[in-house]
Structure 1
Amino acid sequence: MHVLIVTDQHPESLGGVQVAIRLQRRYLERLGHRVTIAAPALHRPGYAPTEEDREAYIDLPSWPITRDREYGITWPGARADRALAAALAALPPVDLVHVQGDFWGAMIGLRAARGLGAARGLGRAIPTVITMHNHVDEGTRAVTPLAPLAFQGLRAWRGLALGPCRGAVARRARGAWRYLAELAAEATAVTAPSQHFADELERHGVADEVLVTRGGVDDEAIAQVRALPRSPRSRPRLVWLGRMSHEKRVLEFIDAVAESRIDADVVLHGAGLLLTRVRERIVRYGLEDRVTVAGPVPYRDALAAMRDADALVQTSMGFETQGLTPFEAAALGTPTVFCDHEIADDVAASVEWRVADGSVGELARTLREAVEQLAAAARGADGGSADPESLRVPEEEGRRFLQSAQTAGMVEIYERALLG
């Protein structure tokens, strides 16, 4: 089959959703399917697609929306429709549209599904799967006190781009949930990347049934990185990866490291609006001997950092719809310190630490507990009684997070959608 994926951001930009989309494409192609990805053109300086990517990507007219030009926006309207239709005209017919965006990507994808159906004289859109990646309610409330107005704006924007809602919407869907429900009303199938977010979407009336399609981790990359030797160390090593923004609670993490007084090396990978404040806070607390900011790194380097670490620290709460890094860490054998219990339940690893609540004090206490146990395990490696492998996630357990397993489930959903 030929699957058209439409998303909010270019697949080569930074982000967990983009990683998941790139992997999905690769593993679908290995099964003999064709995948085309339409997204805003990437404005990052120096970016040049490979020949293989050039054939798979449709770059829509866009404008950069961040200072580093990493992210862009495409206005859902006639200009984007024409650009997408012209690119698709040179390709085999699209069998199914998979919307993997919650904002302009969703609107562009739904318009595309309608247009493809109209061009074939179907009188309806072609089969459409929507994956809800973004916790729009929680994420918006985390960054602005004007969230209710923002939700009204999103609904108005959707109305301008798509017209009256073409389906029933549950009465209990309110605010951001109603916006998502109006998008979902046009879908043949609705999915979410975790069970806890699927449950929340159903509870808030976004759709009667939300299937779970987790983002997987690259089988080959995991195998290659697992084969790397872990570096020697004199004390436990913790790693944090993500976008440095308020909802990720990176500043609270620095506060907790300072309060905990742990004897550990802590490395932060990523960048974002709070990067300068993170560096300032590290200096203010005098943590330069323990905390290092590695900045953004290529995906394989991020995996290698997780493999080399004794534990990953996951700090966001109630925001992530999957939280891919703990899954990647588990596949690499690395346990996680979880602040979000719902993500911990989805990962369900045999080795983990859970922070009791959202306070800095509890995070500090859990960090002390984890570091003490990891240090004891390391002493066991030097001839003590502790078993260092007892605090690693077993390899057989990590196999369930691989992309090959997740792609098989996605194909089943596609086939179900095509059957109507």
Structure 2
Amino acid sequence: MQTSVRLQKKFLEKLGHRVTLVSPGVRGNHAPDADTIELPSLPAGPGEYSFVLPSVLTRRALDKALATLPPVDLIHVQGDFWAAIAGYQLAEQRRIPVVHTMHNRVDVGIEATMPAPGLVVRALGAWQKATLGIRGPGAKTAWEFLGNFAKRANAVTAPSSHFAALLEERGVYSPVRVVSNGLDDDIAKDLLATAESTASGTEHHGRPRLVWTGRFSQEKRLIPFLEAVKASGIDADIHIFGNGALRKQAETIAASIQPATINFRGSVPYPTMLEELQKADVLIQTSIGFESQGMTVFEAAALGTPSVLADHRIAADLPADCFWLTPGDGVPGLAQALAVAVDDIRNGSGPSTAAYDPTSFFQSAKTDLMLEVYREALGERAHA
């Protein structure tokens, strides 16, 4: 999501638009960014994250920062909690249209990370009701929570057709426009040109090279992936990117795995991650029901790398022959898919991404689509 927002900003600015980001205070020493308004915030755990409690203090801080900038034409909300509340409060205060991109399966995320998820959702609903002045009872489900935001939006987008359909089915909003997250044109063109000139896109590794990337958290299913590697007995070179609370447990399991070798690579810059996706023989996607798009799967496909998909919904937006699907949701099904993928890679067979047009996933194309949504939202408010 952070990568997506940064890319949207970069490519909107290339077309001459002005983009200001509003975020929690960034933790650690860093140079101030004139295009980012950092609100008073609290640390969220020991890592990089912070959160904002929308209040008179934060509204004053936002108003003070915006007073030094040209007038705002449109607010693009790309969050589901504090960011959404702050964005809609500002929109109501200044009568500015809102486009809301819903990135997250809030229901699955809360169930995977919180004790008593039902109570958590009701608490969020009460908070939303109080801060936005919602009439009637507060939200009792995650879908009602999202829907209470969407009622105040001029347009709602989602990054995949399967998530857009789910939002419509659950009564959040209709119609939901599909505008997927994209791939940086500049980096992608260089990588694709290098692959074409050196044939590195078809380079054969001494052992199949598998990549897994994501937060080390329950909903991303890193632990079941490692258990599946152990159960499958595959001989492969596995590179794991990311970090999180489950690292120690993951390293303990990895130490017992043979003959595969597990390399924990930590967090890396975006260009490096794209290079690693291109070098891989296969990307492993393991979360189920959590991803609203599964961005790395599309990045990998655009760079010539097929994926093993545990979430069959993601497959709906990919060409039919550029991935392996797990036959079941558990560890045995994932182990079976890994074994098949490694055998296919060794035999030079299996899925191909040749039918996938990488330019269709370039951020410039996604920015053109989003500008259409912006114009519609601005026109709707002007008409009203």
| TM superposition score category, shorter chain reference | over 0.9
Q: 2:289 aligns with which of 312, 318, 326?
A: 318
- How far apart are 1:114 and its partner, in Å? 1.3
Q: 2:43 aligns with which of 38, 61, 64?
A: 64
Match of 1:48 in 2: 31
Match of 1:254 in 2: 226
Q: Could you state the TM-score of these two structures normalised by the residue count of structure 2?
A: 0.93
The residue correspondences of 1:10-49 to structure 2 (distance < 5 A) are 17-43=1-27, 45-49=28-32
Separation of aligned partners in 2, 1:393 and 1:139: 30
SS in 2 for 1:101: coil
Residue range with higher mean Cα deviation, 99-108 or 201-210: 201-210
The percent of aligned pairs where both chains have the same amino acid is 43
- How far apart are 1:225 and its partner, in Å? 2.6
Match of 2:245 in 1: 273
Match of 1:76 in 2: 54
1:340 partnered with 2:311:
yes
Supply the RMSD in Å over aligned alpha carbons: 1.9
Residues 296 and 344 (structure 1), Cα distance of their counterparts in 2 relative to 1, 3 Å cut: same
User: Is the CA contact (8 Å cut-off) linking 1:110 and 1:186 kept in structure 2?
Assistant: yes
Match of 1:223 in 2: 189
- How far apart are 1:286 and its partner, in Å? 4.6
Separation of aligned partners in 2, 1:253 and 1:312: 12
Match of 1:409 in 2: 369
User: Is the CA contact (8 Å cut-off) linking 1:337 and 1:353 kept in structure 2?
Assistant: yes
Q: 1:160 aligns with which of 95, 107, 130?
A: 130
Separation of aligned partners in 2, 1:165 and 1:273: 39
Q: 1:91 aligns with which of 57, 69, 84?
A: 69
For this pair of structures, how many residues does the alignment match? 374
For residues 24-67 of structure 1, give each alpha carbon's deviation from its aligned partner in whole angstroms, at most 9, with x where no partner exists: 01111111111111110110x34335xxxx22111111111120
Match of 1:178 in 2: 144
User: Is the CA contact (8 Å cut-off) linking 2:274 and 2:299 kept in structure 1?
Assistant: yes
SS in 1 for 2:211: strand
Letter in 2 for 1:62: S
1:369 partnered with 2:340:
yes
For residues 250-298 of structure 1, give each alpha carbon's deviation from its aligned partner in whole angstroms, at most 9, with x where no partner exists: 10000111111112111100001111110011113356x5111111111
Q: 2:88 aligns with which of 107, 110, 135?
A: 110
Separation of aligned partners in 1, 2:258 and 2:336: 20
Separation of aligned partners in 1, 2:115 and 2:46: 24
User: Is the CA contact (8 Å cut-off) linking 2:98 and 2:154 kept in structure 1?
Assistant: yes
What residue ranges of structure 2 are gaps of 5+ in the alignment?
Answer: none
User: Is the CA contact (8 Å cut-off) linking 1:331 and 1:395 kept in structure 2?
Assistant: no
Spell out structure 1 runs of 4+ moving beyond 2 A. Answer: 45-49, 228-233, 284-287, 347-350
Q: 2:163 aligns with which of 197, 205, 208?
A: 197
User: Is the CA contact (8 Å cut-off) linking 1:193 and 1:213 kept in structure 2?
Assistant: yes
Residues 393 and 200 (structure 1), Cα distance of their counterparts in 2 relative to 1, 3 Å cut: same
Separation of aligned partners in 1, 2:135 and 2:287: 33
User: Is the CA contact (8 Å cut-off) linking 1:355 and 1:362 kept in structure 2?
Assistant: yes
User: Is the CA contact (8 Å cut-off) linking 2:182 and 2:362 kept in structure 1?
Assistant: yes
User: Is the CA contact (8 Å cut-off) linking 2:217 and 2:245 kept in structure 1?
Assistant: yes
Separation of aligned partners in 2, 1:242 and 1:326: 12
- How far apart are 1:91 and its partner, in Å? 0.9
User: Is the CA contact (8 Å cut-off) linking 2:326 and 2:333 kept in structure 1?
Assistant: yes
For residues 321-353 of structure 1, give each alpha carbon's deviation from its aligned partner in whole angstroms, at most 9, with x where no partner exists: 111100110111111110011112123353210
Match of 2:273 in 1: 302
- How far apart are 1:391 and its partner, in Å? 4.8
The residue correspondences of 1:201-216 to structure 2 (distance < 5 A) are 201-216=167-182
- How far apart are 1:106 and its partner, in Å? 0.2
For residues 152-186 of structure 1, give each alpha carbon's deviation from its aligned partner in whole angstroms, at most 9, with x where no partner exists: 001011122111259x99xxx85111111111111
Residues 252 and 396 (structure 1), Cα distance of their counterparts in 2 relative to 1, 3 Å cut: closer
Letter in 2 for 1:342: R
Letter in 2 for 1:34: R
What residue ranges of structure 1 are gaps of 5+ in the alignment?
Answer: 1-16, 118-125, 378-385
Separation of aligned partners in 1, 2:135 and 2:107: 20
Letter in 1 for 2:379: L
Separation of aligned partners in 1, 2:74 and 2:82: 19
Residues 34 and 349 (structure 1), Cα distance of their counterparts in 2 relative to 1, 3 Å cut: farther
User: Is the CA contact (8 Å cut-off) linking 1:247 and 1:316 kept in structure 2?
Assistant: yes
Q: Could you state the TM-score of these two structures normalised by the residue count of structure 1?
A: 0.85
SS in 2 for 1:82: helix
Letter in 2 for 1:59: E
User: Is the CA contact (8 Å cut-off) linking 2:240 and 2:263 kept in structure 1?
Assistant: yes
- How far apart are 1:401 and its partner, in Å? 1.0
Match of 2:358 in 1: 398
